[in-house]
Structure 1
Amino acid sequence: MEVDTHQVQISNFGEPERLTLTEISLQTQAPVVRVAFAGVNPIDTKTRAGIGWAAKENADKLPWCPGYDVAGELLTADGKGSGQHVCGLIGFPFMGGAYAEHVSAPQDEWVALPDNVDLRQAAALPLAGLTASQALSRFGDLRDAEEVVVLGAAGGVGHLVVQLAKQQGAKVTAISRVQNHEWLLALGADCCVDYGQPGWQALVAEHASLVIDCVGGEVGLSLVKQLLCGTDVVTLPTVTADAIIEAGDAAGCHVTGMLIQPDPARLKQLVTLLADGVIKVAVAATFPLADANLAHRQVETGHTRGKVILDCRAPATPE
């Protein structure tokens, strides 16, 4: 199939304004999806800036189209809408390609969506949902009533960790800014702690069985250094993972970083949880595809409640 379409590309690493809407001809033998929405994730912003392993891998392969999360309509072989909505984690971890009006990916990367699933939430689910799920299972199945501490609980991954941990029977302490506490309690957190409060680390360190660190950096380090010996920790930001693992080793904790593995079977289970109302995906902001630079700036604030997505449905015109 050949489709004339638009996608957002970077030709050089740098600031968000490097993101440029470009007209392309998509030629493929794989299934094609007309994209409704695409998710925006921190890995996208870091790669665009030239930071991290995905940027290193793509440095000599520019131009590159960011993005891995997609929800839209599967097209028939003659390019018409099939009526079947799907979502998927495409091109992970290096190829990307989700910031586009049309994308192509192998059949086994797509998960069919029930009619009652909102496409915005479906587009925001794959990478964040799989990250949350795999982080919680990193040290094995959660024990009933195990105490899980979620650092950065209001973010795209964090708010899903809260819900999935509760769904598995854990007691959840959500660490976030105080303005997010009421919302996190409504999602199922048992208690909330403000990381702006002096001594917050000591409030949670004594009872934590498993810590899911969605923040990393100095904030993650400050918590890990006060955890009890033997505490399990999964730190998600890859840029600071080595430093946090080293600090955890010194404290006698079991600390690991992680890179998620595409898992369509588990994504299908997460879609079912979404359809059944067991979990919700919060979409904080939606930007037109042509304004991907603004979406990146929003994510880079580090204070987004839930996820940011791109609306890829509207006609786009390159500058």
Structure 2
Amino acid sequence: MRAIIQNSFGGPDVLVIAEQPDPSPKPGEVLVRIKAAGLNPVDATVRAGRYQLLGEPPFILGWDISGTVEALGAGVTAFKTGDDVFGMPRFPKQAGAYAELAAAPAEEIAAKPAGIDHAHAAALPLAGLTAWQGLVRHGGLKSGQRVLIHAGAGGVGHLAVQIAKAHGAYVASTASSDKLDFVRSLGADQVVDYTRSDFTGSAGDLDLVLETIGGDHADDSLKVLRDGGVLVSLLNVHDATRAKAKERGIRVERMSVAPDREGLVELARLVDAKKLSAHVAKAFPLDQAGAAHAFLATRPIGKVVLTV
């Protein structure tokens, strides 16, 4: 098969196309012929060596896949050859999504939403599961709650806004000046231009905050949460922030996304119900993975994908 490998840490130019052995599905796995692979910021940090999830190169990057079942490992009954599937297998271990074929645990993939193409399905898993797990599983989101989602035009953020709205929440979000209209188009009730004003002066009395940025945002988010609210962060939260939260009965959850078939099924249900869609900023062919990473670094609206 053709795959994108890297033999050293570095910039986008370390990503090269090469022939690799075809993987074989082990018991409980399916072999997926990949039609599209999604890119995420974690891919770039691993590529550069700033986050060594996969150890030393060489390795094949990527976790988001959408494609067709090519073969079944022993004991797999949930799928048949020819089924269209999507998922985020093996995270944070190597999944090898930047390739023509990948073997994936059957319990970590799900049927692709029928109404969208593979490129849009591949844009969903990691960012969508992060948003869904953060809001619903960790945050305990309920209808009628008031929610703030930081960076509402980002990969996670733009899906989180839609998921929160689909659950009946009032949604506030932050975005830069050029992305305000996009976030409003997702259904956000309030959008704060963080380049012109401090969100702490524009939002308040919130039940739940999904913090996706880092720095002082977790600490500042306490200022807009009601006593007894919930702060879910994708990044580490300082002990001082946790102490402040405890004094006010605010629950702080530090989360990392995990493979989740139940979550994938829920994402697909929302897509099929026309309540969720991934915005694909640009699609690149597999052999242009380096260019795709360079484009990802410009922080486009939504997601970037590779087509295979």
Cα distance in structure 1, aligned partners of 2:242 and 2:120: 35
Bigger shift: 33-42 or 23-32?
23-32
- Counterpart for residue 264 of structure 1: 261
**Partner SS, residue 137 of structure 1:** helix
Identity %: 34
- Counterpart for residue 127 of structure 1: 126
Give the count of matched residue pairs. Answer: 294
**Partner SS, residue 14 of structure 1:** coil
CA RMSD of aligned residues (A): 2.2
Q: What's the CA shift for 1:130?
A: 0.8
If the length of structure 1 is used for normalisation, what is the TM-score? 0.85
Cα distance in structure 1, aligned partners of 2:133 and 2:287: 32
Matches within 5 A, 1:1-319: 5-30=1-26, 31-52=30-51, 55=52, 57-60=53-56, 62-76=57-71, 82-204=81-203, 206-218=204-216, 220-221=217-218, 223-224=220-221, 226-228=223-225, 230=227, 231-236=229-234, 238=235, 241-243=236-238, 246-250=240-244, 252=247, 253-301=250-298, 303-312=299-308
Cα distance in structure 1, aligned partners of 2:225 and 2:109: 42
If the length of structure 2 is used for normalisation, what is the TM-score? 0.87
Counterpart contact for 1:201–1:222, Cα < 8 Å: no
Counterpart contact for 1:211–1:233, Cα < 8 Å: yes
Cα distance in structure 2, aligned partners of 1:300 and 1:136: 26
Gaps of 5+ in 2: 73-79
Cα distance in structure 1, aligned partners of 2:207 and 2:175: 19
CA spacing shift, 1:305–1:233, aligned 2, 3 Å: same
- 1:207-257 CA-partner distances (Å, limit 9, x unpaired): 222111122235x25733644563421121x3xx244x6435346553332
Cα distance in structure 2, aligned partners of 1:14 and 1:297: 12
**1:150 alignment partner AA:** I
- Counterpart for residue 75 of structure 2: none
Counterpart contact for 1:202–1:226, Cα < 8 Å: no
Counterpart contact for 2:25–2:71, Cα < 8 Å: no
**Partner SS, residue 289 of structure 2:** helix
- 1:115-158 CA-partner distances (Å, limit 9, x unpaired): 42221111011111110011002545323321100110111110
**Partner SS, residue 206 of structure 2:** coil
**1:24 alignment partner AA:** Q
**1:71 alignment partner AA:** S
Gaps of 5+ in 1: 313-319
**Partner SS, residue 174 of structure 1:** strand
CA spacing shift, 1:94–1:293, aligned 2, 3 Å: same
**Partner SS, residue 184 of structure 2:** helix
**Partner SS, residue 291 of structure 1:** helix
Counterpart contact for 1:108–1:264, Cα < 8 Å: yes
Cα distance in structure 2, aligned partners of 1:137 and 1:27: 35
Q: What's the CA shift for 1:166?
A: 0.9
Cα distance in structure 1, aligned partners of 2:278 and 2:132: 14
**Partner SS, residue 269 of structure 2:** helix
Cα distance in structure 1, aligned partners of 2:113 and 2:211: 32
